Structure 1
Amino acid sequence: MKYKILCSDLDGTLLSTKSNVSKYAIEQISKIKNDTRIILVSARMPSGMRYIQESLGITNETIICYNGALVLSGQQELASVIIPVNILKKIYNLCSDLEADLGLYYYNEWYVPQPSIRVEKETKYTKSTPTFESTSTTLSNWEQRNIGAHKIMLMCTKESADILMPLLKEKFSVQLNLYRSNDTLIEIAPISVSKLSAIKLLMDSNDSLEDIIAFGDNYNDIEMLENVGCSVAVENAREEVKAISNYVTLKNTDDGVAHFIEEHLVN
């Protein structure tokens, strides 16, 4: 079956390395991109996605950033949902006595209080550069500008994350999506957005979710994969993700998405 839209997560899914799309993926996507819209869907900031769009030759397409909190078509903002400063301050206060730094993201702005191994990795993998300043300074500036965060990345120790996660759920589960991406990282987004909600914004009136094929690997991909016409997990995906997907392809490091495209979508 031909699909009108192909949606793919990046890290752990489409990207065969930590930061780049492979020549094989570029070749396979080039075979279908004139008939199928290729939409990148990620927790990354725009600058961490644009260079991948350029590699794939799909800069004319929309990108879904921050798990759906920011949707961009070129420079046009199709959707933007932020976490307000008053909530950011409460989270900051919860972290004040713990080993936990707030990475704060708004559009293409990224603020962290200090250098760390995690920040170095993010800089290298997403080809984006943070601004180093105290979180209190960032929050004060954002309050004056009347903006908030499209995403928060709490960079913790395992011990501080173990303490913070239940506290955050208790205080903010009605307002925020809270997602522990590993032992030391907690990602936080507005509760009203998701990858699926953003995808729905891009559909024409005569489109259906059945017209969409999606690829993913992690918990934040589950809702998207459960609702599209065809869902494909990579072999390295969480077991829960593989369990709800129609297909399981090769690992991301073995170019699973490109392999599936060549096997099933290229005429």
Structure 2
Amino acid sequence: MTYKILCSDLDGTLLTTKNDVSEVTISEINRIKKHLKVILVSARMPKSMRYLQERLGIENLPIICYNGALVLDNDKELFSTYIGSKELQTIHTIAEQHTVKLGLYFKDEWYVPQDSERVQKEIHHTKAEPIFEDTQTTLTNWEERDVGAHKIMLMGTKETTDAIFTELTNLLGDTLHFYRSNDTLIEVAPKTISKLSAIELLLKDETLEDVIAFGDNYNDMEMLANVGCGVAVGNGRDEVKKIAKHTTLKNTENGVAHFIKQNILI
């Protein structure tokens, strides 16, 4: 296979553990990186992707953060869009009614109202530290700074997130995308962006046909379906495997590295 760009999701895809790439993956990326641009594409914040870029030796290449809401090339901001103060306030008000907590993300800033098992897991997985602050204080501060959220994480129980998911989708589903990460988490992002739209932004002399991409989850489907070669990892959702051109081994079995080794001959 001949491609010019390799794009990969991180969690559940390129990462062999919850917070790191394996030596096998590093070796394969090192083998191909002079011939292919290797672009990391994630829902993560920049600082939670930078250390992985360094591990892979691709710090000089762009990263797609927050599922495409923020695209960076080193320190240069190529694209940024965020959820504004009016929608943030509406979400906060409804979340309070359901006792659902908000994690708020803007660039490398991450705010949570209190510590929890979920927050500790995020710290471990992403190697980032949050600022503990009352959510209304954060929203007031952001309004004064004229900034918003590149991503919101709603954290509750299965019952509360079920209830708020329906209510928020009905109210704000025209402009925001609500994505169930699992039974107790909902990610919120601007509806105008996607991993695919961010990849298209980075194309120069290449086309989507020149791109090979790897993913495991719903937010990877559009990307995998529209690039030259979309590959699902073995642990990916059935819907993702169905639309992918190929399926490789699980992320814990170095699925991305295995596929690269077998199919990208330099």
In 2, the alpha carbon distance for the partners of 1:262 and 1:96 equals 49
TM-fit CA distance, 1:207: 1.4
Match of 1:68 in 2: 68
In 1, the alpha carbon distance for the partners of 2:173 and 2:239 equals 22
In 1, the alpha carbon distance for the partners of 2:99 and 2:55 equals 38
Amino acid at match of 1:15: L
Match of 1:7 in 2: 7
Do structure 1's residue 213 and structure 2's residue 212 form an aligned pair?
yes
Q: Structure 2 matches for 1:1-267, cutoff 5 A?
A: 1-204=1-204, 206-267=205-266
TM-fit CA distance, 1:161: 0.6
Unaligned ranges ≥5, structure 1: none
In 2, the alpha carbon distance for the partners of 1:136 and 1:215 equals 38
In 2, the alpha carbon distance for the partners of 1:85 and 1:135 equals 12
TM-fit CA distance, 1:156: 1.1
Coordinate RMSD, CA, aligned? 0.6
Deviations 1:126-147 (A, max 9, x none): 0000000000000000000000
In 2, the alpha carbon distance for the partners of 1:248 and 1:4 equals 20
In 1, the alpha carbon distance for the partners of 2:244 and 2:96 equals 40
Percent identity for Structure 1 against Structure 2:
58
SS in 2 for 1:21: coil
State TM-score, norm by structure 1. 0.99
Amino acid at match of 2:248: T
TM-fit CA distance, 1:97: 2.0
Is the 1:154–1:185 Cα contact (8 Å) retained in structure 2? yes
State TM-score, norm by structure 2. 0.99
SS in 2 for 1:232: strand
- Count how many residue pairs are aligned between Structure 1 and Structure 2: 266
In 2, the alpha carbon distance for the partners of 1:233 and 1:225 equals 8
In 2, the alpha carbon distance for the partners of 1:31 and 1:127 equals 27
List structure 1 runs of 4+ shifted beyond 3 angstroms: none
In 1, the alpha carbon distance for the partners of 2:241 and 2:19 equals 23
